Amino acid sequence: MFSFRVLKSEGRARLGELITPHGRIETPVFMPVGTQGTVKAMLHKDLLDLGTQIILGNTYHLYLRPGLEVIREAGGLHAFVGWHKPLLTDSGGFQVFSLSRGRGEGRSGVRVREEGVEFRDHLAGDLHFFSPEKVVEFQEVFGSDIIMPLDECLEYPTTYAQARVALERTLNWLDRSVTAKRREDQVLFGIVQGAFFEELRIESALRTVERNLFGYAIGGLSVGEPKEVMYAMTELVCQYLPWDKPRYLMGVGMPEDILEAVAMGVDMFDCVAPTRMARTGTLFTSKGRVNIRNERYKRDFSPPDEECDCYTCKNFTRAYLRHLFNAEEISAYVLNTLHNLRFYHRLMESIRKAIKEGRFEDFRSSWHKAYTLQA
């Protein structure tokens, strides 16, 4: 039901094919984030038109609302949300550690023990307990194609001692997740941790790979560290991951980060940037970012991005989008999100085409050059 193949490569960049029970995915791929079972401001049919191959759902949010029983009764997450293409769900760990900080007892509102993690939710402040076994069970109820194990996420900066403890715990939790997993129509990825210590990143990569999983994720990055550090850790970890398995860089990132990570050998990405930033008026263009609220676009009757083929760019001007945003029209969020997601998908399409045609390095340097121009 599942397979992954590297079809072509240039340097460390790979063009691949990931087969799942809900369809085929061409990699490198960008996965829009559908936190609550929907990508904010988008209809599923819009996503299909934009070239979306797979979306990501957040276990933490779906567990709290609508809750597991509703999703179980609906027949799983694909049926409940009406998305019939591939789905990936995270473990909820990242949200437990980030959203619950500062809520309730304990140093941070989160109590991590060997059995699992106890936390208060960000809605009602109720107490919950996630264990590796429960997180696998939740995702088996969802029926997502790709599932992630519970891992311990640290903040930046962190001490070596904390990173060492989190590394061991993440591996123990991974083993328990493998044991707990029952469904055969889902695959589990391993998550490499090790914070910002080279030695720990290498150890985590080697020991995670020993578990022989379908794919590997690089976790614990994009948590406030400088970009060079994030790049260095990604490049390092990729060198210790097997060539014939998919690699997923969690929560990264900006278009320029994605391009760099592809050059290092990453295949899968997710990030809230294109959707979240669309809702604050930031548009990604081939010549860099545009803040549509800016006065300078008041009489700018050009499209957001001359090179873009999306509905927004083909039909509307920067001046009109600025007006919609200032008037707080719902269509502002829709049109901006539509464009930003198409920008990301078009970037991935261009990357795949460039690798296929053996001109990825040329594409990479000319893309960066254009992206730093003032739009």
Task: Return residues touching Zn ion (CB under 5 A).
Answer: 308, 310, 312-313, 339
Helix (H, G, I), strand (E, B) or coil at 119: strand
Q: Which is nearer to Zn ion, 201 or 318 (CB)?
A: 318
In the complex, least distance from residue 335 CB atom to Zn ion, rounded to whole angstroms: 9
| Catalytic-residue membership of 121 | no
Distance CA 298, CA 26 (A): 39
Q: Which is nearer to Zn ion, 131 or 312 (CB)?
A: 312
142 in Cβ contact with 71 (< 8 Å)? yes
Active-site hit among 90, 121, 145, 267: 90
Active-site hit among 121, 257, 270, 305: 270
Q: Return all residues near 162 (Cβ < 8 A) that are at least 6 apart.
A: 154, 195
- For residue 137, with 0-12 CB atoms within 10 Å meaning exposed, 13-18 middle and 19 or more buried, which class applies? middle
Task: Give DSSP secondary structure letters for 290-338.
Answer: EETTSGGGTT--S-S-TT--SHHHHH--HHHHHHHHHTT-HHHHHHHHH
In the complex, least distance from residue 294 CB atom to Zn ion, rounded to whole angstroms: 18
- Write out 43-62 in H/E/C secondary structure: CHHHHHHHCCCCEEECHHHH
Q: Which is nearer to Zn ion, 162 or 317 (CB)?
A: 317
Q: Which is nearer to Zn ion, 98 or 331 (CB)?
A: 331
In the complex, least distance from residue 348 CB atom to Zn ion, rounded to whole angstroms: 15
151 in Cβ contact with 193 (< 8 Å)? yes
In the complex, least distance from residue 344 CB atom to Zn ion, rounded to whole angstroms: 11
In the complex, least distance from residue 303 CB atom to Zn ion, rounded to whole angstroms: 7
11: alpha, beta or left? (left if phi > 0; alpha if psi -120 to 50) = left
| Catalytic-residue membership of 270 | yes
Residues carrying an active site annotation:
90, 270
